Amino acid sequence: MKKMSNKRHALLISLSFIICHLSLSPVAAQGVTATYQFGIGQTNLLDTYLSQEKFSGLGLSFLETREHSTDQSRWSTHTQHQLSLSQAKDRSELRKELEGDYSLFIGRYYEWWLFERKLRLQAGGLLNGNLGVIYNTSNSNNPAQARLSLGLMPSAIATMPFTLWKVKFKVRYQADLPLAGVMFSPNYGQSYYEIFSLGDYDHNIVPTTFLSAPNFRQQLSVDCSISRLLTLRLGYLGDYQQADVNNLKSHVYHHRVMIGFVRKFSIINHAL
């Protein structure tokens, strides 16, 4: 019994020490700004592997953005998940293409506050992974084109908060430019059967630069604070993906009017 009592006493002392240590340890609060947006707008498609025609139609998009930052550092980490679905027709409206696209963006930014903290500038880079498909409903041979790429994109963000009619607003603009990467593409006249069933490789993993894949992405938004917990966001998303590799040309242009909300919260980290 005495040994059991000693063990309990030692356990209580250890727990008390841990609690006291946590209460006295420095606390690092990480601020998180999360934005969820839905969009609708025009999609323009061209993929000469499937057709020489250009297609246009209506598309939907979902965009989730998260920014992680701390008061102790000017650096912040950004992640974005972007999902788009579209249906487009050619000029005769007799042929149709379906397009689906998912993109993941992970980046780091350094910030500056200018004009007495009336303008916030951020500059950094994004690593972008893209996975998508275009399906031509009229093609019996090679009806689909897979889209797979990985790229590095310099990026800049400008944010300007202001007050109007006693309501807090915030204007934000982000531009992402191409630098270099790699992408998958069949060669001109090469079928997917040759690539995956026969194993005939023909420069299907292609290095890209801002010349061969001049992609560009921009976001313009206005935030309106409705209450302490609710902020609405209205904006525009333009995602312009282009490529000219293996004697094949392609582009996927997304124009979206976006609407959503912004949520802010903190993550408390105890330094042990």
Rounded distance between C-alpha atoms, residue 87 and residue 75, angstroms? 40
Top pLDDT among 5 and 77 is at 77
Does 13 map to a domain? no
In a domain, 8, yes or no: no
- Determine the structural domain holding residue 48 and report its residue range: 30-270
What tokens does 234 get? Answer: 């209205």
Local structure of residue 192 (DSSP, 8 states): H
- State the burial class of residue 128 (Cβ atoms within 10 Å of its Cβ: 0-12, 13-18, 19+): buried
Residue 148 has pLDDT above 90, yes or no: yes
| Model confidence band, residue 14 (pLDDT cutoffs 50, 70, 90) | low
Q: What is the pLDDT of residue 56?
A: 97
Mean pLDDT score, 127-140: 94
Q: How many CB atoms lie within 10 A of CB 229?
A: 10
Bigger pLDDT: 5 or 75? 75
pLDDT digit string, tens, across residues 67-90: 998 888 899 999 999 999 999 999
| pLDDT(199) > 90 | no
Residue 253 counted as domain residue: yes
Whether residue 9 lies inside any domain: the answer is no
Please give the model's pTM, rounded to 2 decimal places: 0.85
d(CA 220, CA 256): 11
* Lowest-confidence segment of 5-9, 195-199, 201-205, 220-224 by average pLDDT: 5-9
- Give the residue among 33, 30, 16 at the shortest CA–CA distance from 170: 33
What pLDDT, on the 0 to 100 scale, is given for residue 142? 84
Rounded to the nearest integer, the mean pLDDT of the chain is: 88
Q: Answer for the pair 258, 222: CB distance below 8 angstroms, yes or no.
A: no
Percent of the chain scored above 90 by pLDDT? 69
**Domain contains 5:** no
Domain contains 6: no
In terms of phi and psi (left: phi > 0; alpha: psi -120 to 50; beta: otherwise), the region of 122 is beta
- Report whether pLDDT(97) > 60: yes
Q: What is the pLDDT confidence band of residue 181, given thresholds at 50, 70 and 90?
A: very high
Summarised one tens digit per residue, pLDDT across range 22-66 is 444 444 567 889 999 999 999 999 999 999 999 999 999 999 999
Residue 152 has pLDDT above 90, yes or no: yes
CATH code of the domain covering residue 171: 2.40.128.100
User: What is the domain count for the chain?
Assistant: 1
pLDDT for res 141? 82
Q: Which pLDDT score, from 0 to 100, does residue 166 have?
A: 85
Please give the average per-residue pLDDT across 143-168, as a whole number.
94
Residue 167 counted as domain residue: yes
The answer to whether position 42 is within a domain reads yes
